[in-house]
Amino acid sequence: MPILIRGGTVVNHDHSRRADVLVDGEQIAAIGQSLPAPAGATVIDAGGCYVMPGGIDPHTHLDMPFMGTTTADDFESGTLAALSGGTTMVVDFCLPGPSQSMLAAYQDWRRKGEKATGDWGLHMAVTSWSKERFDEMETVVKTYGINTFKHFMAYKGALMVNDDEMYNSFARCANLGALPLVHAENGDVVARLQQAYLGRGVNGPEGHAYSRPPEVEGEATNRAIMLADMAGSQLYVVHTSCREAHEAIKRAREAGKRVYGEPLIQHLVLDEDEYRNTDWDYAARRVMSPPFRPKQHQDSLWAGLQSGSLQVVATDHCAFTTKQKQMGRGDFTKIPNGTGGLEDRLAVLWAAGVNTGRLTMEEFVGATSANIARILNVFPRKGAVAVDSDADIVVWDPAATKTITAAKQKSRIDYNVFEGFACRGLARATLNRGRIAMLDGDLRAKAGDGKYIERPAFPAVHVANATWKAQTSPKGVERAAVTP
Ligand code: URP
Ligand code: ZN
Ligand code: ZN
């Protein structure tokens, strides 16, 4: 049945205009003034509302085994939370277990995702390097529609990779038309600082923040940028949380390097004071990596979004219950790292970004949807309210209000790091590929409604860093030799 969204203002990343939007099947069929409703059409009255591309959250961890436990939200509860807040697609991380092949891990994650209620995709993690990994990466890109590979520079002894592994993998990414992603924290230094603080008797959640200062993130971000440049690849830095990391990205972009940065909504509005709360549970629930920072770092992140040196706002939704967090009582290094946010990202960014005048509505669409769709090479199928784009739409009521509370959330965890945050501007309706997933608070999406979205490799010209020139030494060795 067609759906006519009538009387709203269409907001894309590059322009806004008053227009009706006609959805037919999974795509947008027409956009224009006073469109007639086809026979049998459902009409959504969007008077006073903005009609924007559904949010895309490129950083989630649903049903993920991590630090001795598994995240509480799976693909069903996580994507339901997303849809209720206006996010129509998530991109999750496929993490091969120790000695597991990427191909086997991919099959596991595809099974987990069968329950998704909204659209979803995957990034593949590179956690070791070998001829097998080298070969598998081609299948991952060409057969599985995954054009992004994640590298953890932290979590020593678990997911962390060293410079040799990263350099080789970055070069392979460039070679395959893929985009490397990094979690940029110096894991060796973090491990040392953790032991130093524990040795001095600092074992509470505040030790987590002390042992991961901005310098460990700044150093790793700079290093990853230089490695990517030497390997001839573009780079995407996830959860950029501090001035040092942002400045490294900004410098790289000014030098013509194709480097992207992703602040999280948590780091934009929450700061390190959260760890000073004397209630252990309260502070432990906020343990994530990188940790919340001293407040002045937020100004740098906002400036990055405003000026374009940072492009995307994500959540890193990695939700653990209070009971799971208690695994780290007496030793902060054992508190499962991660917080939630999928349901609240759009509303919190609108309140803290658009209502304050920091971001225009178009910049909001850029940061929550269009920019990442372009970075992930799925634009304009995703990230645009345009004819022939997937009908992933959020009807946004700028006058609607709510105060965030865990008591009313869809996520399975028993708290919310944004508890008490006052929002003005909320999703009134969410459409995913032409299906009404949520209308006026009524969540209609069902397990299995979500579709796995494949993303094609990037064209060679896009992949190579603008500053990088293939160089061959007199000995005939090419810079960025791709070694299996
Ligand atoms: O603390 C975090 N961020 N947990 C999820 C894993 C990661 O580092 O992204
Ligand atoms: Zn991370
Ligand atoms: Zn993450």
Atom of ligand 1 nearest to the CA of 93: 9
| C-alpha span between 6 and 49 (Å, rounded) | 10
| C-alpha span between 123 and 58 (Å, rounded) | 9
| C-alpha span between 96 and 424 (Å, rounded) | 41
Reported confidence tier of residue 465, pLDDT bands at 50, 70, 90:
low
**Token couple for 15:** 């322009």
Centre of ligand 2 to C-alpha 317, Å, is 10
Centre of ligand 2 to C-alpha 482, Å, is 26
CB atoms within 10 A of CB 17: 11
Q: Considering only CA atoms, which of 351, 374, 335, 366 is closest in space to residue 427?
A: 351
| E strand or H helix that includes residue 172 | helix 163-176
Q: Ligand 2 (ion): which residues have CB within 5 A?
A: 183
Nearest Cα residue to atom 2 of ligand 1: 338
Alpha helix (H) ranges present in 86-236? 102-113, 131-142, 163-176, 187-199, 206-210, 214-231
Ligand 1 pocket, CB under 6 A: 61, 183, 288-289, 316, 318, 337-338
Atom of ligand 1 nearest to the CA of 238: 9
| C-alpha span between 352 and 233 (Å, rounded) | 34
One-letter amino acid for residue 326 of the chain: Q
CB atoms within 10 A of CB 131: 9
- Dihedral sign from CA coordinates of 263, 267, 272, 277: negative
Q: In this structure, what are the phi and psi dihedrals at residue 331, rounded to the nearest 5 degrees?
A: -160, 100
For 101-113, what is each residue's pLDDT tens digit? Answer: 999 999 999 999 9
- Which residues touch 131 (CB under 8 Å, ≥6 apart)? 484
For 288-333, what is each residue's pLDDT tens digit? Answer: 999 999 999 999 999 999 999 999 999 999 999 999 999 999 999 9
Give the CA count within 13 Å in the CB-facing half-sphere of 124. 34
| C-alpha span between 465 and 452 (Å, rounded) | 29
Say if CB 340 and CB 22 are below 8 A apart.
no
Atom of ligand 1 nearest to the CA of 288: 1
Nearest Cα residue to atom 9 of ligand 1: 316
pLDDT surpassing 70 at residue 462: no
| E strand or H helix that includes residue 123 | strand 119-125
Centre of ligand 2 to C-alpha 471, Å, is 33
Q: How, if at all, do strands 435-439 and 422-432 pair?
A: antiparallel
- Reduced to 3 states (helix: H, G, I; strand: E, B; else coil), residue 452 is strand
Nearest Cα residue to atom 4 of ligand 1: 338
For 127-138, what is each residue's pLDDT tens digit? Answer: 999 999 999 999
Say if CB 378 and CB 182 are below 8 A apart.
no
Say if CB 70 and CB 403 are below 8 A apart.
no
| E strand or H helix that includes residue 237 | strand 235-237
Nearest Cα residue to atom 7 of ligand 1: 289
DSSP, res 450: -
Centre of ligand 3 to C-alpha 224, Å, is 17
pLDDT surpassing 70 at residue 479: no
pTM equals 0.97
Give the pLDDT score at 30.
Answer: 98
Catalogue the E-assigned strands of 145-213: 148-152, 179-183
Centre of ligand 2 to C-alpha 477, Å, is 34
Centre of ligand 3 to C-alpha 273, Å, is 22
Nearest Cα residue to atom 3 of ligand 1: 289
**CA-angle at 233, arms to 222 and 218, nearest 5°:** 10
| C-alpha span between 291 and 287 (Å, rounded) | 6
For 50-70, what is each residue's pLDDT tens digit? Answer: 999 999 999 999 999 999 999
As a whole number, the mean pLDDT across the chain is 96
Residue the block writes with tokens 């919340």: 292
- Length, in residues, of the chain: 484
